[in-house]
């Protein structure tokens, strides 16, 4: 298939940036979106032009490194997949595809389609540690956890931190990401020890970094490649309010 | 940056949602009274005036009025603060390809419907509340010089079609606002539950249709009768 790509090019964080059009020919329908970009980049290198920068790592949908805002949707037109798992068969021959970086103030562009998502790392760091007993190896079943709670915690923990929620949100809110990270611990007995402290710290960090306020439009949930539920946001609100009202600890 | 944000994003939203829920209850009370502008019963005018008089003089209601104004002001001010922060968080460069995510119309345009409803509210306050305070005059006064709201309202709806149309449009916007607002308030307060949330969403949708429709029927009735 032959495609026209409209790609955001930006030399560095300070540069202005703009769209540039590229033609790619003979793309296999079975290739992934990133493989299609590899083909483009090889042709650019052959022409001694600078290749298009984009983030990626595992290319199997588990690391959260790939991004790209493709034709008006983070991770492109398919549901519940990352860009690396998006296949070109989702497009048609002759299509024009617009590719943009994540847009949000806390995610500044570094170069071309690569944005700095270290704001997410800062939020995780703000969450702090979880206490654990040391000593001999504990029995695997020493801590009882209900199947229901463990399922919910596992669902929340499947967040790969790609930032699609922020990219999709009209408010650039990070609530889905933060709530998933808060929930995965708050739901389990191991995470309960510091849960009041954790939620307050992470929310404060999220606000400080300049992410927007959630207005419950749920674009995040619709675009999340891991289908993280907005019920996590409600849980975080509960956890946060509970901590603010009941915990006297200064954080 | 953190120094400027005195309240966390969640706290601000919780305050907004509580104020909003309070306004939702108030709206129902207001509709209950307004419906008596229409000849629902033989003595509908007396009932309307009795209720309006009760709302104007009862000390408990007087206290509630303070809360009501507070509710409006808090809801509006926090709505604006949150919105300005959100625009700033989005950054200065918009997506060229727009957004193809299928979020609801109601949720996308909360600030727009909110501002339009506020403009209507300002006009409404000028016409009725200022009249009550004596800052705006009307030919419809009783023996004590107090405005007769029944006659003021009926006169407006019967003789001023422009006002009626503005009134109807404002309530359509309010309907869209409420459709998102109702369930959103519960989500913000953390009241999310696999059993109750679908129910809350349905009640919100019914409320957002029935209550504005109730208000809209009144000017329609008078427009058709004249
Ligand atoms: S590259 Fe790892 S999730 Fe896409």
DSSP track, B162-224: HHHHHHHHHHHHHHHHHHHHHHHHHHHTT---TTTHHHHHHHHHHHHHHHHHHHHHHHHHHHH
The pLDDT of residue A141 = 85
Query: Class of the B2-82+102-225 domain?
Result: mainly alpha
Among residues of chain A, what percentage have pLDDT more than 70? 100
Over the stretch B66-96, which tens digit does the pLDDT of each residue have?
999 999 999 999 999 999 999 999 999 999 9
What is the radius of gyration, based on Cα positions, of chain A? Answer: 20
pLDDT at A192 over 80: yes
The arithmetic mean of pLDDT across residues B41-64, rounded, is 90
- Dig out the tokens for A191 from the structure: 């995470």
Domain boundaries, chain A: 3-111, 117-247
The pLDDT of residue A140 = 83
C-alpha distances in Å from residue A22, one per residue of A53, A80, A98, A199: 14, 27, 10, 45
The pLDDT of residue B142 = 77
Residue B220's pLDDT band, with cuts at 50, 70 and 90, is very high
The pLDDT of residue B1 = 43
pLDDT at B53 over 50: yes
The pLDDT of residue B148 = 81
Q: What is the CATH number of domain A3-111?
A: 3.10.20.30
Contacts of B15 (CB under 8 A, 6+ apart): B7, B74, B78
The pLDDT of residue B207 = 97
Any alpha helices (H) in chain A, and if so which ranges?
A: 33-46, 118-127, 147-157, 164-168, 175-186, 189-192, 195-208, 219-223, 231-246
**In whole angstroms, what is the distance from residue A115 CA to residue A54 CA?**
9
For residue B13, list chain A residues with Cβ-Cβ distance below 8 A. Answer: 213-214, 237
Of A72, A103, A171, nearest to B100 by CB-CB distance is A72
pLDDT at B133 over 80: no
Cβ of B5 and A208 within 8 Å? yes
Contacts of B158 (CB under 8 A, 6+ apart): B222, B223, B225, B226
Ligand 1: centre distance to CA A162 (Å) = 8
Shortest distance, CA A233 to any CA of chain B (angstroms)? 8
The arithmetic mean of pLDDT across residues B128-142, rounded, is 75
Give bridge partners of residue A8 from the DSSP assignment: A19
> In 3D, which of A63, A57, A237 has the Cα closest to residue A163?
A63
The pLDDT of residue A245 = 93
Angle made by CA atoms A76, A80, A81, in degrees to the nearest 5:
60
pLDDT at A138 over 80: yes
**DSSP assignment, residue B129?**
I
The arithmetic mean of pLDDT across residues B44-61, rounded, is 90
For residue A209, list chain B residues with Cβ-Cβ distance below 8 A. Answer: 1
The pLDDT of residue A31 = 96
Of A26-30, A137-141, B55-59, the range with the highest mean pLDDT is A26-30
The pLDDT of residue B57 = 86
Over the stretch A88-137, which tens digit does the pLDDT of each residue have?
999 999 999 999 999 999 999 999 999 999 999 999 999 999 998 888 88
Provide the mean pLDDT of chain A: 96
**In whole angstroms, what is the distance from residue B115 CA to residue B109 CA?**
10
In this structure, chain B runs to a length of 226
Shortest distance, CA A36 to any CA of chain B (angstroms)? 20
Shortest distance, CA B61 to any CA of chain A (angstroms)? 30
pTM beyond 0.90: yes
The pLDDT of residue A26 = 94
**What ipTM goes with this model?**
0.92
For residue A208, list chain B residues with Cβ-Cβ distance below 8 A. Answer: 1-2, 5
Among residues of chain B, what percentage have pLDDT more than 70? 97
Within 180-199 of B, beta carbons closer than 8 Å to A belong to 180, 183-184, 187-192, 194, 197
Domain boundaries, chain B: 2-82+102-225
Domain A117-247 adopts which CATH fold? Fumarate Reductase Iron-sulfur Protein; Chain B, domain 2 (1.10.1060)
Pocket test for ligand 1, best of A37, A56, A68, A81 (most atoms within 8 A of CB): A56
Packing angle, helices A175-186 and A195-208, rounded to 10: 170
Residue A60's pLDDT band, with cuts at 50, 70 and 90, is very high
> In 3D, which of A218, A7, A175 has the Cα closest to residue B8?
A175
Shortest distance, CA A73 to any CA of chain B (angstroms)? 6
Contact between B95 and A72 (Cβ < 8 Å): yes
For residue B96, list chain A residues with Cβ-Cβ distance below 8 A. Answer: 6, 8, 19, 98, 100
Ligand 1: centre distance to CA A48 (Å) = 27
- Dig out the tokens for B13 from the structure: 């939203």
Give bridge partners of residue A98 from the DSSP assignment: A6
Packing angle, helices A147-157 and A175-186, rounded to 10: 150
Is the C-beta atom of A241 inside 6 A of ligand 1? Answer: no
For residue A219, list chain B residues with Cβ-Cβ distance below 8 A. Answer: 99, 101, 103
Contacts 24+ apart (CB under 8 A), B189-197: B189/A237, B189/A241, B189/B14, B189/B17, B189/B18, B190/A234, B190/A235, B190/A236, B190/A237, B190/A238, B190/A239, B190/A241, B191/A234, B192/A230, B192/A231, B192/A234, B192/A235, B194/A231, B197/A231
Q: At residue B218, what are phi and psi to the nearest 5 degrees?
A: -65, -55
The pLDDT of residue A158 = 97
Query: B82 touching A, CB under 8 A?
Result: yes
pLDDT at A59 over 50: yes
Q: Which atom of ligand 1 is nearest to the CA of A56?
A: 1
Contact between B71 and B26 (Cβ < 8 Å): yes
Residue B2's pLDDT band, with cuts at 50, 70 and 90, is very low
> In 3D, which of B146, B134, B158 has the Cα closest to residue B226?
B158
Is the C-beta atom of A158 inside 6 A of ligand 1? Answer: no
The arithmetic mean of pLDDT across residues A222-243, rounded, is 97
Which of the two residues, A149 and B140, has the higher pLDDT score?
A: A149
Contacts of B94 (CB under 8 A, 6+ apart): A103
- Dig out the tokens for A210 from the structure: 């300049």
């Amino acid at each position: 298939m032959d495609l026209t790509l409209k790609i955001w090019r930006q030399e560095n964080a300070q540069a202005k940036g703009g769209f540039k059009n590229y033609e790619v020919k003979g793309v296999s329908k079975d290739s992934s979106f990133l493989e299609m970009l590899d083909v483009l980049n090889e042709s650019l290198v052959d022409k001694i032009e600078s290749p298009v920068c984009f983030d990626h790592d595992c290319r199997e949908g588990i690391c959260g490194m790939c991004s790209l805002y493709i034709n008006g949707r983070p991770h492109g037109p398919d549901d519940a997949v990352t860009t690396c798992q998006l296949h070109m068969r989702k497009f048609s021959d002759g299509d024009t595809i617009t590719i943009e970086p994540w847009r949000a103030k806390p995610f500044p562009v570094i170069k071309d389609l690569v944005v700095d998502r270290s704001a997410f790392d800062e939020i995780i760091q703000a969450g702090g540690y979880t206490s654990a007993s040391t000593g001999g190896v504990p029995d695997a079943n020493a801590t009882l956890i209900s199947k229901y709670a463990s399922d919910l915690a596992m669902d929340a923990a499947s967040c790969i931190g790609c930032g699609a929620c922020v990219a999709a949100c009209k408010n650039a809110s990070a609530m889905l990401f933060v709530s998933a990270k808060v929930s995965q611990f708050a739901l389990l007995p191991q995470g309960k020890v510091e849960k009041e402290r954790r939620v307050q710290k992470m929310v404060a960090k999220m606000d400080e970094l300049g992410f927007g306020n959630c207005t419950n439009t749920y674009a995040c949930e619709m675009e999340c490649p891991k289908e993280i539920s907005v019920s996590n946001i409600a849980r975080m609100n509960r956890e946060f309010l509970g901590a603010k009202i009941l915990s006297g600890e200064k954080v | 940056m953190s120094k400027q944000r005195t309240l966390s994003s969640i706290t601000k939203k919780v305050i907004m949602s509580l104020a909003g829920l309070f306004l939702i209850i108030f709206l129902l009370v207001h509709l209950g009274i307004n419906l008596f502008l229409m000849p629902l019963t033989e003595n509908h005018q007396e009932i309307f005036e009795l209720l309006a008089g009760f709302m104007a003089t009862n000390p408990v209601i007087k206290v509630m009025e303070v809360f009501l104004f507070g509710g409006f002001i808090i809801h509006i001010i926090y709505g604006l603060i949150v919105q300005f922060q959100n625009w700033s968080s989005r950054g200065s460069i918009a997506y060229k390809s727009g957004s193809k995510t299928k979020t609801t119309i109601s949720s996308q345009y909360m600030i727009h419907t909110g501002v339009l409803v506020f403009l209507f509210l300002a006009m409404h306050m000028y016409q009725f509340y200022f009249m009550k305070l004596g800052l705006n005059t009307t030919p419809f006064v009783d023996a004590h010089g107090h405005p007769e709201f029944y006659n003021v309202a009926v006169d407006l709806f019967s003789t001023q079609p422009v006002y009626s149309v503005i009134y109807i449009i404002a309530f359509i916007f309010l309907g869209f606002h409420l459709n998102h607002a109702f369930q959103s308030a519960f989500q913000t307060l953390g009241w999310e539950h696999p059993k109750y949330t679908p129910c809350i969403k349905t009640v919100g949708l019914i409320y957002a249709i029935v209550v504005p429709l109730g208000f809209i029927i009144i000017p329609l009735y008078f427009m058709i009768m004249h």
